[in-house]
Amino acid sequence: MPTLSQWGMAALALVLAALASRLLRGQGGVLRLAALGLLAGAALLASPWSGQALARPADDVLLDNPAGGTAPLPDHPDFERPFADYMHGYTVRNTTGRPQRIKAVTVTAAHRIMNSHDDTQCTVGQILAPAASCSVVVGRPH
């Protein structure tokens, strides 16, 4: 993002003020063109090019090892909100080319698995076909 320091902004303001005073006296086309260019440049430098970049927490748990294994649930900021229900839903996706059987669903001692009332909840013994998914809702007790 292009920016000017405080000294650069002060110099740009002085140049624009000098050009504005000449333009107000009614002098020349070249100065008008230069003033428009500087004004456009100042507007571009002052405009917000992008907002603050924030990392988006992962909502997907990928089963990406064809031989099977453990897929960790990443920590999520929803567990730390002071005025929320301290729960977050994850989508478990089978990204391998073969079916995967869910043998266990466990979380750390600080969290617990919440019952979800939808048909896509991951259950022990469930077989996920390639590219299929199920969901796990994790909560943190108060």
Mean pLDDT of 15-32: 69
How many folded domains does the chain comprise?
2
Q: For residue 11, is it within any domain? A: yes
Considering the domain architecture, whether residues 66 and 34 belong to the same structural domain is answered as no
65 in the same domain as 87: yes
What are the pLDDT digits (tens) for 69-114?
888 777 777 777 766 667 888 889 999 999 999 988 888 887 888 8
Question: Do 67 and 32 share a domain, yes or no?
Answer: no
The answer to the question of residue 51 being in a domain is: no
Buried b vs exposed e over 38-55: b needs ≥16 C-beta within 10 Å?
A: eeeebeeeeeeeeeeeee
Query: Do 90 and 122 meet the contact criterion of CB atoms below 8 Å apart?
Result: no
**Other beta carbons within 10 Å of 13:** 11
Q: Which tens digits make up the pLDDT trace of 31-78?
A: 666 777 777 777 666 666 555 655 556 678 888 888 888 887 777 777
Alpha-carbon distance of 73 to 78, in angstroms, equals: 13
Q: Evaluate whether residue 52 is within a structural domain.
A: no
pTM across the whole model? 0.54
In a domain, 53, yes or no: no
Per the structure, the complete domain to which residue 115 belongs is given by 60-139
